[in-house]
Amino acid sequence: MHRFILSDAIKERVNRVQGKAHIVETIDAGRSALVVIDMQNHYVAQGFPNEAPVARTIVPNINRMAAAIRSAGGTVIWVKTTSVGALEKWRAHHEFKLAPEVAARRLESLSEDSPGFELFEGLVPHADDLIVRKIMYSAMIPGSSELHETLSAAGVEMLLVAGTKTNVCCDTTARDASMRGYRVAMLSDATATLSDEEHAAALNNFLVSFGDVLTVDEAIERLTPAL
């Protein structure tokens, strides 16, 4: 897992802004969801196009958090990136941001009949968990996915965000969820990216301006069972 230690400067800024170290003191499981982002072979498995090797090390923590929130009566949602509709809804990214060969490889690997689309081995989804497909980095913006509608239907008000990459899809989804009125905490030892520096920068920025950052142990300690 990534090494993540808050600097004194970030601690001081957080306390100045919100008056305390953590704004999430309790987690009502009945109104909360663990949202696991992009833990698919394309992003996690060895040799796949967008592999983040550290993501393999967070699998046990994701499974532990999922088991805890299920046991407390909460919701687990697996968000999977798909290439279906990507050229229609996100054409500029594929045509102008990505080299042609990179775009082609991405579209092929994330097609829904490709091994790249499947969840990484070792993850333990349950039959009652929900699956949401997204097209863009953020699952919370219109046109990308039905995550907001799924959360609303389930009565979810708070998100615990896990998965990969910390500074891309996890970060954009978490920030956009905050902008849409959800309470959000990113899980520092259940998210991963390509380097400690990118991981820390994303979490520090989120903590200062958008929501909370907790470890899995801290999140589990704060869980209260659904009534």
The predicted pLDDT at position 58 comes to 98
Condensed to tens digits (0 to 9), the pLDDT of residues 179-203 reads 999 999 999 999 999 999 999 999 9
Percent of the residues in the chain that have a pLDDT greater than 70, as a whole number: 100
DSSP labels, the chain: -------HHHHHHHHHHHSSS-S---EEGGGEEEEEE--BHHHHSTTSTT--GGGGGGHHHHHHHHHHHHHTT-EEEEEEE--TTHHHHSHHIIIIIS-HHHHHHHHHHTSTTSGGGSBPTT----TTSEEEEESSS-SSSTTT-SHHHHHHHTT--EEEEEEE-IIIIIHHHHHHHHHTT-EEEEEEEEEE-S-HHHHHHHHHHHHHHT-EEE-HHHHHHHEE---
The per-residue pLDDT for range 77-93, each reduced to its tens digit, is: 999 999 999 999 999 99
Residue 84 has a pLDDT of: 97
pTM for the structure as a whole = 0.97
CA-to-CA separations, 9 to 5, 6, 91, 206, in angstroms, rounded:
11, 8, 40, 15
Task: Identify the CATH homologous superfamily for domain 8-83+119-224.
Answer: Isochorismatase-like (3.40.50.850)
* pLDDT value of position 226: 84
pLDDT tops 80 at residue 24:
yes
Distance of alpha carbon 33 from alpha carbon 204, whole angstroms: 22
Give percent above pLDDT 90 in the chain: 98
Structure confidence at residue 121 as a pLDDT band (50, 70, 90): very high
| Mean pLDDT across 122-143 | 97
Residue range 113-124: mean pLDDT, rounded: 98
| pLDDT, mean over the chain | 97
Mean pLDDT of 108-130: 97
Determine the pLDDT at residue 223: 97
pLDDT of 160 strictly over 90: yes
**So what's the pLDDT on residue 227?**
76
> Residue 137 has what pLDDT?
98
Q: How confident is the model at residue 131 (pLDDT cuts 50, 70, 90)?
A: very high
Q: Average pLDDT, stretch 127-155?
A: 97
Instruction: Kindly state the average pLDDT of the residues 129-153.
Output: 97
